[in-house]
Amino acid sequence: MKKIVTSLALALALAACAGPGGTGPGGGLMYRVPESPAVVYLTGDTSNIDIDAGAMGSFRMRETGTSTMEFTFARGADGVQVTATFQELSARLTQPMGGAQSITEADVVGDIVFTLDPQGHSTAVSMPEVRGVAAQLANPQALAYEFFPILPGGTVSPGDSWTDTLTYALDLPQGDSESTSVMTYTLQGDTVVGGRTLLHITMTGTADVSGTAVQEGMEVVQTASGDIEGTIFWDPARSLYVSGDFQRDMDGTVEVPAAGMPPMPMTMTGRSHVQLQEG
């Protein structure tokens, strides 16, 4: 039973991430091809999933991951076309009821290609081939929707806020999931970091995730909701996302209807970081 719960909880918990976008020389906070059409980002993520299985006890799963990713930007028919490639990837899942699982960049074959409209609404173009648990630990489908945030698409001043709802569905090897987040972004102003003047943007909102999967012949259903907040820095001179720090805190349940057990309470917490590699 715990093996079933573990598998689905991981697949859905990792869908709750977020990231940012920028402003161009025309004065509008929107997406466009940046001054540097090819850049590299360093990313890191830590997630903890705690499940109370009643008489079977409580247990924790922990996922950690780091990556080096190359992003290239080009003009597309519907906005900016983005191509993302894992240069390096290391992710690991540990759990008390089984051995650790890990992946590297060799488990993700091909590019993540998607387009962004001026506000950052994403449309997937093509996804890489993933092997084993890479669909959950790397989650390239979710990255296409969540690496960059929604922007206002026009001129904003310090203190201005904008809100948007992001909804998408994922078809994963173990099942499917849906995610809806409502985020409010606020332009706090600018600040100097490393000799460059950057825009400081904060983000806060809520996320709801649900999904189903069939494991060992039984359906598993999970729902979770909670809070996400973050801090974003953007370079207006280069039209480039520089860094972002995000954290999530969610509560939910896992249920196996055929087992005749009540839903099991679950909490999911995590932190993630994105940093432009300079030089």
Within 10 A of 167 (CB to CB), how many other CB atoms are there?
A: 11
Query: 62 is written with which tokens?
Result: 């922990």
Share of the chain above pLDDT 70, in %: 88
Query: 184 is written with which tokens?
Result: 């409010």
| pLDDT tens digits, one per residue of 20-76 | 333 333 446 888 899 889 999 999 999 999 988 777 778 888 999 999 999 999 998
pTM for this structure?
0.86
Phi and psi angles of residue 91, each rounded to the nearest 5 degrees, phi first:
-135, 145
Ramachandran sector of residue 27 (left: φ over 0; alpha: ψ -120 to 50; beta: rest)? left
Query: What is the mean pLDDT of the segment spanning 223-252?
Result: 92
Instruction: Give CA–CA dist 172/63, Å, rounded.
Output: 18
Provide the residue ranges of all domains of the chain, joining segments of one domain with +.
2-273
Nearest CA-CA partner of 136 in 275, 17, 225? 17
217 Cβ neighbours under 8 A, 6+ residues apart = none
Mean pLDDT of the chain: 84
Exposure string of 154-163, with b = 16+ CB inside 10 Å and e = fewer, is: eebeeeeebe
- pLDDT beyond 80 at 135: no
pLDDT at 216: 67
More reliable by pLDDT, 120 or 83: 83
Which DSSP string do the residues of 2-57 spell out, in sequence order? HHHHHHHHHHHHTT---------TTS-B-----SSSEEEEEEEEEEEEEEE-GGG-
Share of the chain above pLDDT 90, in %: 48
Please give the DSSP secondary-structure letter assigned to residue 261.
P
More reliable by pLDDT, 14 or 212: 212
Per-residue confidence band for 182, with pLDDT thresholds at 50, 70 and 90: very high
- pLDDT beyond 80 at 7: no
Query: What is the mean pLDDT of the segment spanning 252-258?
Result: 86
More reliable by pLDDT, 208 or 238: 208
Per-residue confidence band for 17, with pLDDT thresholds at 50, 70 and 90: very low
Per-residue confidence band for 215, with pLDDT thresholds at 50, 70 and 90: low
Nearest CA-CA partner of 210 in 218, 196, 197, 221? 221
Query: What is the mean pLDDT of the segment spanning 85-96?
Result: 90
Query: What is the mean pLDDT of the segment spanning 143-160?
Result: 88
Q: Across-strand partners of 114?
A: 82, 124
Structural domain 2-273, CATH architecture: Roll (2.30)
- pLDDT beyond 60 at 3: no
Query: 5 is written with which tokens?
Result: 């719960």
